[in-house]
Structure 1
Amino acid sequence: DVSSRENDVDHLETLSQSLHPLSCAADRDWLGERVAAVRNGHTELRDWCNRREAMLEQALANAQLFGEEEVEVLNWLAEVAQRLAEPELLEQQHKHTL
């Protein structure tokens, strides 16, 4: 939504410039300050949103990676549990390792 307001801020600046020749110096200064404040606020908000978006994308990538690793660990645990449930197989493996 912030990026969609860029055109509105640009339009505000255009309107301000069109009023410039019709206004006294005090009004031009006041309006210029207000328009600059809106532009600066919008720029800061847009930059913050971009940083936040990057952080959220990284968090999503980390969560997906964690999920994949979790599945691998759970599969390994299931395999270990299955082997532990077969004592005869463990005995044979133990004999071969000695």
Structure 2
Amino acid sequence: MNKYAIIDVGGKQLRVEPGRFYDVRHFASIQDVSGSNMKVSINRVSLIRRGSEISIGHPWLSDATVRGRILHPCFGSKLVIQKIHSKKKT
């Protein structure tokens, strides 16, 4: 817990630490996530903590980048389900 960052990915803020795995639903900059071991870098970093040093951005830090890789693309496209209602109330 000495080193972590808070990033903005997919419209949500997420606290990330080195060596941990996270499920992220949406990457705005990546259109096709078909292969595994795809490297990503995220520039929208709000906070970085290294030991007792804390850097806070307003809204983001300008010189910070969090790098990672996609191990398995487990989320596919959304399904559209439509309900058909009857015109008569019987």
Name the TM-score, length of structure 1 as normaliser: 0.15
TM-score by length of structure 2 reads 0.16
**Whose radius of gyration is greater, 1 or 2?**
1
Structure with higher strand content: 2
Bigger fraction of residues in helix = 1
